[in-house]
A and B are shown apart, each in its own frame.
Chain A
Amino acid sequence: MQRIDSPSRVWSHYAGLVILAIICLTPIWVMISTSFKNEVLIFDAKPVWFFFFPTMENYDYILTRGKFDRYFINSVIVATISTFLTLFLGGLCAYALARLEFKGRRFVANATLLVRMVPPAVLAVPAFAMVVTLSLNADLAVLIFFYTALNLPFAIWLLFGFYKQIPVELEEAAVVDGASPLQVFFKVLFPMMKSGYAVAGIFTFRIAWNEFILALLLTGRKTRTLPVGAAGFITDTGVEWGRIMAMGTLIVIPPLLFTFFAARQIISGLTAGSVKG
C-alpha cells in the first residue's frame, strides 16, 4: 500500500508529533505547576518547570476559604441535569427525524441546523430580559433551560447520524413482532445507541460545565458556577495567580478525564459534522 519507510522518516514523523504534543501540553502544565507554587516562586518571574517544592496552600485556600464547594455543587447540578435533558429530548427528536415519516420533518431538520449557530452573545440580552420580567433571579433552573436549548441542536444532529447507522431491519422485525414505537425506541434502539449517547453526552456536558457568559449574567451569589467563581479571582485586588491556577486545575479535571477515557468518542464527535463514513 504505502511505500516502505526509512527509519529516519519514521523518526521525523514522531518528532513532529512530539513537538506538537509539547505545544499542546505546555500551557496546561504551566497551569498545573503554578497551582502548586507559592507566591514567592510565582513572582520571581523566572519560570520553573519541574523542580520546585510543591505547596498545597493555594488549594487549601480555595477549598476552605472560598466558596468552592458551592460553585462545584452548582456546576455539577447544572451540567448533569442539562446533559440528561438534552440527551433525552434530543434522542427522541433525532429518532423521529431519522426513522419516522411526518409532515414537516425536513423543516424541523433544517431549522435545527440553523438554530445551532445562534451565538450565545445574542441570547445574553433576551435571557436577561426574560429573567428580569419573570423575576426568576439567580435560579439554576434558568441556566439549565438555556444550556439544554443551546446543546439540543448539536445533540440531535449527532444522534441523528448514529440512528442512521443502525439497520432498519432490526426495527422492522420488532414491529412485526408487535412492538409499539416506544418499545422499539427503548428496547431495540437504545441499547445500540450507547456510544452515540456517550459522544453527545460528553459534548453537552463540556459546554454546560465550561460555559461562562450566560452563567455570569444569570447567576447570583449563591448560584455561581465554577467558571464564574474562577473569573472572580481576577477583579479583586490584583490577580492571585496561584489560587486562580488551582481553581483552573480543578475546573479542567472532569473534561480532562473525559479526554483520556473517551478520546475516540470525542474525535468521532468532532468529525461528525464534516467527515462521513
Chain B
Amino acid sequence: MAEETDIAVPKPRPGGRTLTPYFFVLPAAIVMIAGLMYPVADAFYLSFFDWKIGTKFAKADNVGFDNYIRLLSDPDVRESIWVTFRFGFWTILIEMVIGVSLALLLEKPIRGASIFRTIFILPLMVSPVVVGLIWRYLFDARVGWINYYLGFIGIEPQVWLGDAELAFFAIVFTDIWQWTPFIFIIVIAGLQALPSEVLEASRIDGANWWQQIFLVKLPMIRSILLIALLMRLIDVFRAMEVMYILTGGGPGRATELLSLHIYNRAFDAQLLGYASAISVLLILIVFILSLGILVVGNPMKDKSDI
C-alpha cells in the first residue's frame, strides 16, 4: 500500500528540459492517433455520406444530416439500443450480486486459494469466438446438453437460439458465466487489501457480520465496485463477438447489441455511411461512461484517493 501523495515527477534533472520525453511518447502517440483517433474522426466524417460497399467513396453522396435524421426515427436502432440496455441491466445486476456476495462469503485466505483463482480466470481467457461456439453447442436444440438436462426436471426441449426471449436469456447466461468470476476476483482483491485494524475495531465495537458488510466493508471498497460497474458497462457497448457466433444478433434483432448492430448494418446491409452515424452514437455513449471512470479512478492522476 504505497502512499503516493505526489507522484507527479521526481525532480527536474539535467536534460529534463530537452525534447527527450517527446521521443519516448511520440511513437506510441502516433500509432494511437492513426489507429484509434483517426478512425473515430473518420467515422464522424463518413456519417455524412451515403456510401455502399462495392462503390468508390468518390462516388458516394454527401447527404448532410440525413443519416442522423434517419437514425432518430429508426425502430431497428431503437430496438438495438433497448436490447443493449436490457442486456447490460440484467448481466451487470446478476454479475455484481453473485460476484460480490461470493467474494464476501469466500474472502478469507485459505489454503489452495490460488488454484481456485486460476480456475476462475479461465472463462476470461477463452477466446470470445470459442465461448460463442461452446455455448451454441450447449444451447443447441437437437444435440445441446442444456435441453437434455432440463428434460430431467420435466422441461420440454426448447429452441433456445430461435426464440427471441430464450435467445436473449442465452446471451445473458453466457455473459454471466464469463464475467462473474471477474467481479469476484477484483472484489476479493479489494476486500483483502482492507486494513485489518479497521475490521478489528468495528468488531470490538460490537458490529455483527451484516453490519460489518454493509457499514464497513462495502463502503470501503465502493470505488472498486463503481469502477467494476463502469468497466462492465463499457464492455456491454463493446461486446459483439460472442453474440455474432451464438446468435448472429437474431432471431430478428432480439440479441443484436449496438456494436453488432453497427457491424450488421455496415457489412450485411452494406450501408457504410449509416453505420458510421450509429457508430458516432455509440462513441458518444461510451465517451460519457469513460469520463465517469476518469473521474472515479484515474490511476494517472496525482493524488491517490483510496
Contacts and interface: CB of A to CB of B under 8 A. Distances in A.
Contact of A273 (B24, B290, B299): B299
B182 A270 contact: yes
Interface in A91-107: 92-93, 95-102, 105-106
Interface residues of B, number: 121
B120 A21 contact: yes
Interface string B105-119: 110101011101111
A34 B42 CA distance: 44
A210 B114 contact: no
Contacts of A56: none
Contacts of A24: 119-120, 122-123, 177, 181
A248 B122 CA distance: 14
B25 to A, nearest CB: 5
A119 to B, nearest CB: 4
B127 A209 contact: yes
A168 B291 CA distance: 31
A274 B266 contact: no
Contacts of B137: 30-31, 34, 239, 241, 244-245
A65 interface: no
B237 interface: yes
A1 B200 contact: yes
A121 B125 contact: no
A164 B110 contact: no
Contacts of A185: 24
B289 to A, nearest CB: 7
Nearest to B17: A101
Interface stretch (B65-73, B85-93, B276-284): B276-284
Contact of A276 (B16, B113, B304): B304
A125 B272 contact: yes
B172 interface: no
A89 to B, nearest CB: 4
Main secondary structure of the interface of B (DSSP, over half): helix
Contact of A117 (B8, B259, B267, B286): B286
A148 interface: yes
B119 A25 contact: yes
A10 B108 CA distance: 10
B231 A129 contact: no
A259 B121 contact: yes
A264 B189 CA distance: 12
Interface residues of A, number: 117
Contacts of B32: 111-112, 115, 149, 152-153
Given A13-B108, A248-B133, A275-B186, A255 B125 contact: yes
Contacts of A252: 125-127, 130
Contact of A99 (B9, B121, B287, B297): B9
B24 A92 contact: yes
Given A30-B138, A101-B21, A152-B32, A117 B289 contact: yes
Contact of A25 (B122, B124, B136, B148): B122
Given A13-B108, A206-B125, A45 B142 contact: yes
B64 to A, nearest CB: 19
A23 B177 contact: yes
Contacts of A172: 10-11, 13
Nearest to A185: B24
A98 B21 CA distance: 11
Nearest to A32: B134
State the 10 A-B residue pairs at the shortest beta-carbon distance, nearest first. Answer: A149-B35, A121-B259, A96-B24, A126-B39, A210-B127, A93-B28, A102-B21, A277-B1, A126-B42, A263-B118
Given A118-B36, A145-B35, A271-B189, 7 more contacts: A125-B279, A148-B35, A227-B130, A255-B127, A259-B118, A274-B189, A274-B224
10 contacts: A28-B123, A106-B300, A118-B283, A121-B240, A129-B57, A145-B35, A150-B35, A231-B129, A248-B134, A260-B118
